[in-house]
A and B are shown apart, each in its own frame.
Chain A
Amino acid sequence: NAGVMQNPRHLVRRRGQEARLRCSPMKGHSHVYWYRQLPEEGLKFMVYLQKENIIDESGMPKERFSAEFPKEGPSILRIQQVVRGDSAAYFCASSPSLAKGDTQYFGPGTRLTVL
């Protein structure tokens, strides 16, 4: 059973470009979470999605960031007009439901570097 898959694993962008990060949840999981890990900082929640719905985006910056989880295909975190401060590791996690006992399983992350 494949785990959470993220691609690309490493992404380099110049300031002002767009970054698209993809996440395929574990088989049978319909809940996806995105977290960001800035250098020397802990993991911070960004957004929680179910298929075709954003449930909680309280940790998402108001501008330039968006996320989706379409009916078909992976979840995508999109960062427009990247700035150097966006350089970080972005992790996706998935779970089967919100029921007590359902753990979030993390992917390997995408490391974004903004030049």
Chain B
Amino acid sequence: EDQVTQSPEALRLQEGESSSLNCSYTVSGLRGLFWYRQDPGKGPEFLFTLYSAGEEKEKERLKATLTKKESFLHITAPKPEDSATYLCAVRDLYNQGGKLIFGQGTELSVKP
């Protein structure tokens, strides 16, 4: 059964304190791994898609990496506006539809 586990559940950082969020996954075949950001009361906002081990993508202070078993979202010198819940999701290669399997999310809080 496809499964996604994110850790930690919550992370508190001081502004400028870099860290990483982890997403471990189990899937029959990986078609894609997705990172989203969700602010309270809003819908998930797309950040990155990764397809194969070794792939990396960057956007401002965020960098996503992928191995065969997990993905990391690295946050460099975070700012308070980076505070949000970060969601990881996978799409199974053998699922004919576009169903995404989501993890529980990591709630990030960045204090000034």
The residues of A with any CB-CB pair to B shorter than 8 Å are 4, 6, 31, 33, 35, 41-45, 48, 55-56, 58-59, 91, 95, 98, 100-109
Contact = CB atoms under 8 A, between A and B. Distances in A.
Contact of A42 (B32, B96, B104): B104
Interface of B: 31-32, 34, 36, 42-46, 49, 51, 87, 89, 95-105
A52 to B, nearest CB: 16
Contacts of A98: 97-98
A100 B51 contact: yes
A80 to B, nearest CB: 24
B98 A48 contact: yes
B98 A91 contact: no
Given A33-B99, A33-B100, A103-B46, 11 more contacts: A6-B43, A35-B100, A35-B102, A42-B102, A42-B103, A42-B104, A43-B100, A56-B95, A58-B99, A100-B51, A102-B98
